[in-house]
Every structure is written in structure tokens, then in C-alpha cells.
């Protein structure tokens, strides 16, 4: 098993004004002369914790991380206006141009894999490689599985907690019910829903549930941005032009060196999506980690990602 690299601090960080409303926080770490790679975090709304830096050899990579609109250190916090997939694709390009990078590798897991596909299919000439983990293509069957019925059969105890903020007569459409509460003017209603939504994901992310992760996801500031932005994207079908857009546009990125890493027992983003992407894109290396769920912190996934970054 490969271990994380030692913790490092960024050598540069700052804010980039990407619209009149939004500023995104970014940082650079590793080797300023190294190969550039941009990390696209999950959620949407998850932000970039410092341990993400430890997946990349600091002598070889120039790592760029940024908090997407409305989350992490970006401002305004938990803001839904001007916050779409295509706004984020535009932000990635603005950041690349601002940093004077001609091409970079793209690393993304979960929602980060969705955004990586959307960005690379829009700007394939700017991508030197792709490392994708926990494939999510924001299709209705994926959303129904996790937020309506499916994952509930595997984690009925955690599901019971997820249902608590929603009255029984609204449970036939949980996304809509949650959206109404997460956009409520009442902060108590918003926070109750946000914490339940976020803890549900934390409860199901690992093969062996992690109580520390659940506590972190349940913190008010994180939960509000994470839940509000996720639900906003999901209720709007990811702002994609069609249900299978990311699968149908694989031809645009077929030539880019790519690795797909997927946990066999991923309940958040089930392996069927990674399998369908693999079938459409056999040129990409496909790695199934047999003893893992969704989280990039699980030993097998961590190891596969570090091998992928070293090989790329």
C-alpha cells in the first residue's frame, strides 16, 4: 500500500474574482517548476482540505487547488446564484490563464469527476491527462439511487436519520423536499436539513463508517455550503444539456491519457457508472479497488491514486 506524502504548506495562495459576485480561493503547492495539475474537489460544495496535497509527489508536481464557488474559503459562502457547472468550467479556465499555465493534468473524484469530464470535454486542448475517481455523471438514476431509494437498503440506520427533517407526506420526492428547506429563510430549518443531508453522505462514504468524518460533515458552516450547493445542482440536473451528455461526449477526450479509479462497494457513486464510462472509453485505464467504498482516504483507493499520479 502506498502512503500519503508528508504534509506540506502552499507556497502561494490568493483569491481570483471570477464574477461580480464570486471570488474563488486558490493555492499552489509542491514544485513551482513541476508538472501542473489542478484538483477538482467533490460535492459540489465540498472544498479542499489540506490533506489533498499529500496525494502528489511535491518534487514533481505543481499542484493547484481551489474552492469552487460558494464553499471552502471562497466567497460569498453557500451562495447559489451564478453557481452552475458551466460557471465552474469557466472559473477553471480563468484560473489557468491567471496562473499562466498552457496545459495541465486534471484530478477529480465524485462530483470532481463530473466537473473534470465537463471541463475536459469543453477544453480538451488544455488537458495533459485525467485522473478520475468515484465516477458520477449526474444522471437521474444516480440521484434516485442515493437520495430517494437504493442506498437506503444498505444503510437503513443512517437513512432513518436522513429522513427525519422531512414529513412523511413529502418523502415521495426527497430532493424537492430538501431543496425547499435548504433554501428556507429560516436558518434553523436550513441547518437542520443541511446537517442531515451532509451526515447521510459521510455515513455512507466509507466501507467501514467513520464517526470523525460524520462529525466534520455535520459542522454548521461546512454542512450548509455542502448541502445547499449539492441540492441546488441536483435539482437542476447538473445544468447539463442532456441526461447522458458526459458519456456521449467521450470522443472529445478519447486521446487524453486517463485513469479511472473506482471502489467496488461505492454506495455514493455505484460502480455501474464507472463501468459504463469504461465501456464507452476503453482507452482509459480502469482500476477497480475490490475492498473499498467511495472515499479517497480508503487505503486501496489512496494507493491507486498515488500510483496514478506518480505514473502520469
Helix (H, G, I), strand (E, B) or coil at 216: helix
Per DSSP, 78 falls in state: T
- Catalytic: 25? no
pLDDT tens for 247-300 read 999 999 999 999 999 999 999 999 999 999 999 999 999 999 999 999 999 999
> Quick one: average pLDDT of 194-203?
98
1, pLDDT greater than 90: no
Q: Is the distance from CB of 80 to CB of 228 less than 8 angstroms? A: yes
- H helices within the chain, ranges in order? 85-98, 111-122, 140-147, 156-163, 174-182, 187-204, 211-217, 220-235, 245-248, 271-280, 299-311
pLDDT tens for 16-41 read 999 999 999 999 999 999 999 999 99
What's the mean pLDDT when you consider all of the chain? Answer: 98
Selected catalytic residue, list 22, 25, 232, 294: 294
Sign of CA dihedral 112, 113, 118, 119: positive
pLDDT tens for 46-95 read 999 999 999 999 999 999 999 999 999 999 999 999 999 999 999 999 99
Selected catalytic residue, list 67, 232, 266, 273: 266
Predicted TM-score (pTM) above 0.95: yes
CATH-assigned architecture of domain 12-140+239-311: 3-Layer(aba) Sandwich (3.40)
pLDDT tens for 91-142 read 999 999 999 999 999 999 999 999 999 999 999 999 999 999 999 999 999 9
- Catalytic: 123? no
Shortest CA distance to 136 belongs to which of 126, 123, 146, 150?
Answer: 146
- Catalytic: 29? no
Domain ranges of the chain: 12-140+239-311, 141-238
Q: Is the distance from CB of 95 to CB of 66 less than 8 angstroms? A: yes
Selected catalytic residue, list 110, 116, 198, 295: 110
Amino acid at each position: 500500500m502506498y502512503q500519503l506524502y508528508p504534509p506540506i504548506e502552499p507556497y502561494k495562495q490568493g483569491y481570483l474574482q471570477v464574477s461580480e459576485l464570486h471570488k474563488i480561493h486558490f493555492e499552489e503547492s509542491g514544485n513551482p517548476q513541476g508538472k501542473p495539475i489542478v484538483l477538482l474537489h467533490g460535492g459540489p460544495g465540498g472544498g479542499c482540505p489540506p490533506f489533498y496535497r499529500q496525494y502528489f509527489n511535491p518534487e514533481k508536481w505543481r499542484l493547484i487547488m481551489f474552492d469552487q464557488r460558494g464553499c471552502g474559503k471562497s466567497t460569498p459562502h453557500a451562495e447559489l446564484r451564478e453557481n452552475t457547472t458551466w460557471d465552474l468550467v469557466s472559473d477553471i479556465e480563468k484560473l489557468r490563464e491567471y496562473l499562466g499555465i498552457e496545459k495541465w493534468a486534471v484530478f477529480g473524484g465524485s462530483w470532481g469527476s463530473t466537473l473534470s469530464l465537463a471541463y475536459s470535454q469543453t477544453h480538451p486542448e488544455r488537458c495533459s491527462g485525467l485522473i478520475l475517481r468515484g465516477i458520477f455523471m449526474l444522471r437521474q438514476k444516480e440521484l434516485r439511487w442515493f437520495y430517494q431509494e437504493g442506498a437506503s437498503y444498505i444503510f437503513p440506520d443512517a437513512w432513518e436519520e436522513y429522513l427525519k427533517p422531512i414529513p412523511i407526506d413529502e418523502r415521495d420526492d426527497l430532493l424537492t423536499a430538501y431543496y425547499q428547506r435548504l433554501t428556507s429563510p429560516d436558518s434553523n430549518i436550513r441547518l437542520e436539513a443541511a446537517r442531515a443531508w451532509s451526515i447521510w453522505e459521510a455515513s455512507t462514504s466509507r466501507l467501514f463508517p467513520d464517526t470523525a468524518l460524520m462529525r466534520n460533515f455535520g459542522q454548521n458552516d461546512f454542512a450548509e455550503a455542502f448541502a445547499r450547493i449539492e441540492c441546488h445542482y441536483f435539482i437542476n440536473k447538473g445544468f447539463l444539456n442532456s441526461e447522458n451528455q458526459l458519456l456521449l461526449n467521450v470522443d472529445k477526450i478519447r486521446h487524453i491519457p486517463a485513469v479511472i479509479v473506482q471502489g467496488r462497494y461505492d454506495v455514493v457513486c455505484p460502480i455501474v457508472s464507472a463501468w459504463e464510462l469504461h465501456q464507452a472509453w476503453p482507452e482509459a485505464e480502469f482500476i477497480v479497488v475490490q475492498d473499498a467504498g467511495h472515499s479517497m482516504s480508503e487505503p486501496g483507493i489512496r494507493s491507486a491514486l498515488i500510483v496514478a499520479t506518480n505514473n502520469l
